[in-house]
Chains A and B, each alone.
Chain A
Amino acid sequence: MQQGEFTEKIVPLSSKLRRFACFFLGNEEDGRDVVQDVLLKLWQDRQNLDRVANAEAYAMQMVRNKCLDHLKSSRVVKQRPLTGALQAFSEPVDHTEWKDTSQMVMQLAGRLPEVQRSVLYLRDMEQKEFDEISAITGLNVNAVRVNLSRARKQVREELLKIWDHESKRSRRITAEIL
C-alpha cells in the first residue's frame, strides 16, 4: 500500500478505532495511545496491507488485541465502569436526555464480559455485519450471534430493571404530590 492510499483509507479510520478502544478500555487516554500504536504499526507494515482483505476489520482486530494486552498488563478489572468512555460518546449530543441515556447504555455494556461487550459494540454501535465481527474477534459467525444475543438479553434485563425502578420512583413521587 502506497503512502497516498494509506492516508486515504487507513487514517480516516482513526476516529472509529479510537471510539472502539476508548469503549473497550473505558479510558480516553489509553484508547488514544492504543490507536496511535496501532496506526504506527500499520504504517510500518503498509507493504503487507494489500494482502489483507478487509483493512478496517484488520485494524479493528489489532486495536482489540492491543486493548486486551493493555488490560492484561495493567491488570485493570475488565468490567470496570466506563466513565472515561462516556465523555467521548456523549459530548456532541445536545439533547440532555440522550446524553444521560448514552451514559446509561455505556454502563450497561461496560458490565458485560469482554467478548460480549466487543460483539455488542461492533454490532449495535458500529453496525457491522456478522462476518466482519467474526474477522475482528476471531469468533465464528455462530459464536458471534450467540454472544450478541446474550449481551442483548443482559442489556434488556438491565433496561427493564431500570425502567421498573424509575416507574416505581415516579409513582411514589406522584403519590407524594397527590
Chain B
Amino acid sequence: MRAKEAEELLQKYFEGETSLEEEQSLRIFFLQEEIPGDLLPYRKWFVTTGQTVEDAATDGFTQEMAAMIQRQQQPVRFLSRKMIVAWSGIAASVIIIAGSLLFYLREPDYRDTFSDPAEAMAYAEKTLTFVSEKYNRGLATLAPVSRLKEGENKLDKNLKTIRKGFREYNKIQFINHLKTVD
C-alpha cells in the first residue's frame, strides 16, 4: 500500500468507516520499516492493536474454566466417608429388622394331605393309638421300679422304729445323768 492510500484509509478509520479488511491492511502498512514522518505517531497504535495475545496465562485460564465446567457435570457427591459409615449403619439395621420381620411373620407353609376331614381324623386317631401303645409298652418295662418303692417303704417303717428306740434311750441317759448330779 502506498503512503497516499494509507493516509486516505486513516481518515476513514478515524471516522469509523473502515471495514475490518481495510483496518487489517492499515496494520500491515504500519509494520513496514519506512513510514512517512507524519504517519509515525500512529504507528504504535496500529502495531499494538494488531496483536492478538494468546499467552500461557490465557490458555491456563481456559483450562481452569474447562475444569470448572467439568466439575459441574459430575453429580454432587453426597457420600463422604462419614456419610458412608452412617448410611451403612442405617442400611444394616434396616436389613436386620426387615429380615427378622420376614422370618417371624412368614406364613407357615402347611399343605393339606387329606381332602376328606373324616379320613384325616381316622388317620390321626390311628397315629395316636400307635403312639400310646408304644408309650404303654415303655411304661410296662418300668414295673419293677414300683417294687423297689415297696421295699423302700418297708425299710423306712423299720428305720422309724429304730429312731424311736434311740430317742427313748437318749431320754433314759439324760435322766441317769441328772440322778448322778444330784
Q: Determine which of B15, B44, B66 lies in contact with A11 in the assembled complex, contact meaning CB atoms within 8 Å.
A: B66
Q: Does B107 contact A (CB under 8 A)?
A: no
The answer to whether A159 and B47 have CB atoms under 8 Å apart is: no
Is A149 touching B15 in the complex (CB atoms < 8 A)?
yes
Contact B16 A152 (CB under 8 A): yes
Nearest B-chain residue to A91, judged by Cβ: B55
- Main secondary structure, interface of A, reads helix
A129 to B23, CA, bound (A): 12
Instruction: Give the docked Cα–Cα distance between A19 and B13 (Å).
Output: 24
- Consensus secondary structure, chain B interface: helix
Given contacts A7-B69, A152-B13, 12 further A-B contacts (CB under 8 A): A3-B73, A12-B62, A36-B68, A40-B72, A91-B55, A101-B44, A105-B49, A124-B49, A127-B20, A148-B16, A159-B44, A163-B40
B41 within 8 A of A: yes
Residues of B within 8 A of A15 (CB): 54, 58-59, 61-62
In this complex, the member of B15, B53, B59, B73 whose beta carbon has the largest number of chain A beta carbons within 10 angstroms is: B53
In the assembled complex, 11 residue pairs joining A and B whose CB atoms fall closer than 8 Å, in A order, are A14-B65, A18-B58, A19-B53, A40-B68, A88-B57, A92-B54, A98-B51, A145-B16, A147-B16, A159-B41, A159-B44
Q: Determine the residue in chain B with the shortest Cβ distance to A104.
A: B44
A89 touches B (CB below 8 Å): yes
Pair B58/A19 contact, Cβ less than 8 Å: yes
Q: Specify which chain A residues have a CB less than 8 angstroms from the CB of B13 in the assembled complex.
A: 152
A153 at the interface (CB under 8 A from B): yes
The reply to whether A98 and B41 contact each other, CB–CB distance below 8 Å, is no
Chain B residue numbers with a CB within 8 Å of A14 are 58, 61-62, 64-66
Residue of B nearest to A119 (CB): B16
Contact in complex: A105, B65 (CB < 8 Å): no
Report yes or no: B42 in contact with A11, Cβ–Cβ below 8 A. no
A129 to B62, Cβ gap below 8 A?
A: no
Interface presence of A125 (CB below 8 A): yes
Contact partner of A153 (CB less than 8 A), chosen from B14, B17, B23, B55, is B14
User: Chain A nearest CB: distance from B83 CB in Å?
Assistant: 26
Residue A102 at the chain B interface, CB threshold 8 Å = yes
A78 at the interface (CB under 8 A from B): no
Chain A residues closer than 8 Å to B24, beta-carbon distance? 127
B45 at the interface (CB under 8 A from A): yes
Give the size category of A's interface with B: 35 or more
Which chain A residues have a beta carbon within 8 Å of chain B's beta carbons? 3, 6-7, 11-12, 14-15, 18-19, 32, 35-36, 39-40, 43, 88-89, 91-93, 98, 101-102, 104-105, 123-125, 127, 129, 144-149, 152-153, 155-156, 159-160, 162-163
Residue B48 lies at the interface, judged by CB distance under 8 Å to chain A: yes
Would B55 and A102 count as touching, CB distance under 8 A? no
Instruction: Return A74 CB to nearest CB of chain B, in Å.
Output: 22
Chain B positions within 8 Å of A162 at CB level: 41
Residues of B contacting A88 with CB < 8 Å? 53, 57-58
Least Cβ–Cβ distance between B50 and chain A, in angstroms: 9
Question: Are B68 and A39 within 8 A (Cβ)?
Answer: yes
When C-beta atoms are compared, the residue in chain B nearest to A93 turns out to be: B51
Among residues of A, the one whose C-beta sits closest to the C-beta of B40 is A163
Contact of A159 (CB < 8 Å), options: B45, B59, B61: B45
Asked if A105 and B45 sit within 8 Å, CB to CB, the answer is: yes
**Min CB–CB distance B100 → chain A (angstroms):** 47
